[in-house]
Structure 1
Amino acid sequence: MEQHAHYQCDVLVIGSGAAGLTLALQLAAQTRVIVLSKGPLTEGSTYYAQGGIAAVFDENDSIESHIEDTLIAGAGLCEPAAVEFTTRHAKQSLQWLIELGVGFDRVADEQGQPRFHLTQEGGHSHRRILHAADATGRAVQTTLVDEVKKHPNIQVVERVNAIDLITDKHIGGSSGRCYGAYIWNRVTEQVETIAAKFVALATGGASKVYQYTSNPDIASGDGIAMAWRAGCRVANMEFNQFHPTCLFHPNAQTFLLTEALRGEGAVLKRPDGSRFMPDFHEAAELAPRDVVARAIDYEMKRLGADCMYLDISHKPAAFIREHFPNIYEKCLSLGIDITQQPMPVVPAAHYTCGGVKTDLNARTDIHNLYAIGEVAYTGLHGANRMASNSLLECLVFARSAAQDISARVNQMELLTQLPAWDESKVSDSDEEVIIQHNWHELRLFMWDYVGIVRTNKRLERALRRIELLQQEIHEYYSHCKVSNNLLELRNLVTVAELIVRCAMARHESRGLHYNLDYPELLPNAQPTVLTPPQQPSR
């Protein structure tokens, strides 16, 4: 049975962070855009990003240096074309944000003229991080939201879950393209359809697959799972970045302590007050994140300690309050005065370096389907994302996708009659406890078996449990009406399988993937690319 789509547009953007909103704004002059937001428009990983955005603004810096630093941090697995493309488009992407009014911090130069205050983070050889105090993501997100709300060609639909992409397998076509999406409206609790000439996934990463994460609740790998089910390849899912320093406190489980703290002189200490990073890397606290995270994990396990400590109290109190006002206030609200005492820290799942395979225009394997931001694998990050390249990737590839879509949008037909969502064989669930149990089980064994340090046996155990969970979840999904928790669990278990299968395929330790059974580097680094099997639609 076909029905007229509930919504129609030229471009459907699934996700409302920096990537999605940038794409919408870049397209809105000539196209009708719908932006789907899983929660409120300001919720998402962009809003919580603290550190900043990397670009060459210092005359003593160079794009070549930014390229080299990124390649080194990526542990030999970056795709050079993606790195060069991103870094060469960095400054103009930042200039666009500046023109929109993002208030990056400035200081006076030697002549008393204002210039951008650039900070340095792990892996960078120069100060090239533009930031807005320690809340850069908030400044970017709120500015983009304000612009989106002004634009008559952009319609925002909040509190909806994308369920699946509508492709040829739903309509019996053979063009290999995407026609829209099924969405679940969390307000009306109804499934609706959106018809679009083009669809862009900007759904963020999948760190919620782990028990401890710095990400907001919405980071459940939805776009990666939907693209995989639709027939897109994914790559490098074994490289999940664990941020070394999340605040260890029962009331602050997802509060990130930006790498800029270490860039400005904070040091990591054991419970006895002794430093340990010089024992692990010549760059000490400014080593790449994978090195720092493993060092903290190693020291915690060696000492049986609940956490390590990050200390910036040797810096002047006024300096700390000026540069890190949000961190200062947050810690103070928890009884920690960072001008006087160290902060307890643990690593937490932070960033998905792999994702849906795309080209430099953000095109996926399916015609008219794009992927931008953390959901995508562009080749920029390799085996370890360098600090402050993530928001940059969102901006650069959103602008690139917008150019590609703009050149084609007027030649593309909109298919408005789409297959209706079939709920004829489903019923309301009276066993929500099953979802909750499976949810907690998945996140716990992913943390224990597929975390910072892995082994073959742990990966095999994780895969066996994933396969059992998939059977249970598929049975549940086939017979029950959809809900937020069910949709997220369905996506998370798919992403968990992709992470484990990629990890099992890599017989070496490189970057963020560390396997005790394969501790050495292979001589030739290659990305791990998975191709989906043909899957029936619901």
Structure 2
Amino acid sequence: MSEPDILIVGGGLAGLFCALKLAPRPVAILAAAPIGQGASSVWAQGGIAAAVAEGDSPELHAADTKAAGAGIVDDETALSVAREARARVDDLLRIGAPFDHDSAGNLTPSREAAHSARRIVRVKGDGAGAAIMQALIAAVRRTPSITIHENLVAEDLILQSGRVAGVLARDASGRLRAFPARATVLASGGIGALYALTTNPPQANGAALAFAARAGARIADAEFVQFHPTAIDIGRDPAPLATEALRGEGAILVNRAGKRFMPALHKDAELAPRDVVARGVFAEIAAGRGAFLDATEAVGAAFAEKFPNVAATCRSAGVDPARQPIPIAPAEHYHMGGIWTDAKGRTSLPGLWAAGEVASTGLHGANRLASNSLLEAVVFADRVARDIAETLPGLPAPKAPQPVTPAETPARADAESVTEVRRIMSRHVGVLRDAVGLREALRALYALRDKALAEGSADLRNRAEAALLVAASAYLRRESRGGHFRTDFPSADPAQAHRSVITLDEALRLARTVAASEAA
């Protein structure tokens, strides 16, 4: 049986929603793990940002998005996404997402940091991602036009006559398989697994960023990485998350002595933008004072009822959040950068679309506003589906791909190299950055890429190249803005108040120059 003409890489919110929006057109989904197990969407706790409450509006939502984005949010994108938010929430309600309602049947949104209104549509306090995904998975499994391929890891794009014509992916047995397609959608998530401490699943390793760039795709805003300030610091990988909604409910940040530290750093204290809070938490930990999220007064005995997932995680580590402060640390949480797309989700490569965290649409700017990630995923998944539906009849059918030979089936990255990438990124391309550290990152990552080429490891090559794109972009932006903070350039530069674009060739050229100068 032949595969469908439309291929979606990724089994998270953006991928599944796009597939449902394309129905009844035949679609194949490639997922690196069983559906629902390898997607960051499942772990999203806050919810979806949408102006659904009385007194709120898409215009206010867009204004908050732009304020958090530190001067480089695309105005038209922010407003158009905010205006589509309610319709996408209604789509999810029809699919079966059990968003919180009051006794009159009205949605009951909560508030999160940097929002000027209560507009986070959520599920039982901290369960939005899992509940939304459960509804989508059930809908996808009962949709006959959708074929699901699980445990298939995409490693490269198939290119034919200057356009993307599908994907090469490795199955659970290690065999490399070709999946030709007339339209290919990347919805494979972010880059969290490139960092030593992250809230993302291990499948979020930036591979699509690398192989899309290797094919010639433009990468935008790669330097902007958001670190969630309140990952629960109990030694787990990935790190569990203490949702932003806790601070929205009044929880405070304190050090080991019980002293609050955020009021001295920002007028909004604990509800300041995430990058500010992350740096505050990082500084307390670096100074040896520790950092904790204290909800004992704001939530107290109601903790388990209001935030059951966080409560269960804390209790499993011997912490009672109703009575004790929760130990926290900043962890890589979300990548504002990614594969550049236009307003329809088209990348710079013909035949390739992108949606969700893997894409960079201009919505988030330098710092994502809380709960805009799930919103962007469904809005752009819908746009991609509509664009493909309109253009598919005119797209050329892919030719039969060349057989994959053993020489083209490289090994997976060894554990030591994966750990080394994560160490480099956390140490030199993390919450705080400077030229010396970034140069070391470029040199070391370039050496790991050379190792990958010598050993024939597509996995290590993708990790190293994705990390190089982030490090090179961070080195080139000599200012501090949003999620990118340079200790050697601690102020924002008005002349740099624009989005960045980089190609893999440019990143490699920079890394080679740095490596050569270090060796001289």
Classify the TM-score, shorter chain.
over 0.9
Structure 2: how far apart are the matches of 1:340 and 1:195? 56
The residue that corresponds to 2:442 in the other structure is 463
* Corresponding residue to 1:114 among 85, 105, 109: 105
Shift of 1:425: 7.4
* Conservation of the 8 A alpha-carbon contact between 1:208 and 1:219: yes
The 3 A distance-change label for structure 1 pair 394 and 426 is closer
1:415-471 per-residue CA deviation (whole Å, 9 max, x = no partner) reads 2411122324778x7xx8x82222111111211111101111111111111111111
* Corresponding residue to 1:34 among 23, 28, 32: 28
* Conservation of the 8 A alpha-carbon contact between 2:36 and 2:133: yes
Structure 2: how far apart are the matches of 1:468 and 1:225? 16
* Corresponding residue to 2:99 among 104, 111, 125: 104
Structure 2: how far apart are the matches of 1:377 and 1:410? 27
The residue that corresponds to 2:68 in the other structure is 73
Q: After superposition, where does 1:247-286 map in structure 2 within 5 Å?
A: 247-251=232-236, 253-286=238-271
The residue that corresponds to 1:480 in the other structure is none
1:281-316 per-residue CA deviation (whole Å, 9 max, x = no partner) reads 0001000000000001111112x24x3110111135
The 3 A distance-change label for structure 1 pair 531 and 487 is closer
Q: After superposition, where does 1:318-333 map in structure 2 within 5 Å?
A: 318-333=301-316
TM-score (ref. length: structure 2): 0.94
The 3 A distance-change label for structure 1 pair 423 and 209 is same
Structure 2: how far apart are the matches of 1:371 and 1:275? 41
Q: Which amino acid aligns with 1:335?
A: G
Shift of 1:251: 4.4
Q: What SS does the aligned partner of 2:177 have?
A: strand
2:478 paired with 1:507? yes
Q: What SS does the aligned partner of 1:163 have?
A: strand
Q: Which amino acid aligns with 1:138?
A: A
2:87 paired with 1:88? no
The residue that corresponds to 2:424 in the other structure is 445
Structure 1: how far apart are the matches of 2:70 and 2:373? 17
TM-score (ref. length: structure 1): 0.91
Structure 2: how far apart are the matches of 1:147 and 1:503? 40
Shift of 1:53: 0.4
**Which stretch shifts more, 512-521 or 311-320?**
311-320
The residue that corresponds to 1:311 in the other structure is 294
* Conservation of the 8 A alpha-carbon contact between 1:505 and 1:528: no
Q: What SS does the aligned partner of 2:3 have?
A: strand
Question: Which stretches in structure 2 are left out of the alignment for 5+ residues?
Answer: 508-520
2:165 paired with 1:165? no
Structure 2: how far apart are the matches of 1:77 and 1:59? 29
* Conservation of the 8 A alpha-carbon contact between 2:157 and 2:168: yes
Shift of 1:38: 0.2
Identity of aligned residues (%): 39
Structure 1 runs (4+) deviating above 6 angstroms are none
The residue that corresponds to 2:319 in the other structure is 336
* Corresponding residue to 2:189 among 179, 187, 204: 204
The residue that corresponds to 2:209 in the other structure is 224
Q: Which amino acid aligns with 2:485?
A: Y
* Corresponding residue to 2:331 among 331, 338, 348: 348
Question: Which stretches in structure 1 are left out of the alignment for 5+ residues?
Answer: 1-5, 478-485
Q: Which amino acid aligns with 1:363?
A: R
The residue that corresponds to 1:9 in the other structure is 4
Structure 1: how far apart are the matches of 2:61 and 2:275? 19
The 3 A distance-change label for structure 1 pair 247 and 121 is same
Q: Which amino acid aligns with 2:469?
A: L
Pairwise CA RMSD: 1.7
Structure 2: how far apart are the matches of 1:265 and 1:72? 22
The residue that corresponds to 1:58 in the other structure is 53
Q: What SS does the aligned partner of 1:533 have?
A: helix
The residue that corresponds to 1:142 in the other structure is 134
Structure 1: how far apart are the matches of 2:408 and 2:69? 48
1:242-281 per-residue CA deviation (whole Å, 9 max, x = no partner) reads 0000111124751011000000111000100111110100
Structure 1: how far apart are the matches of 2:227 and 2:467? 16
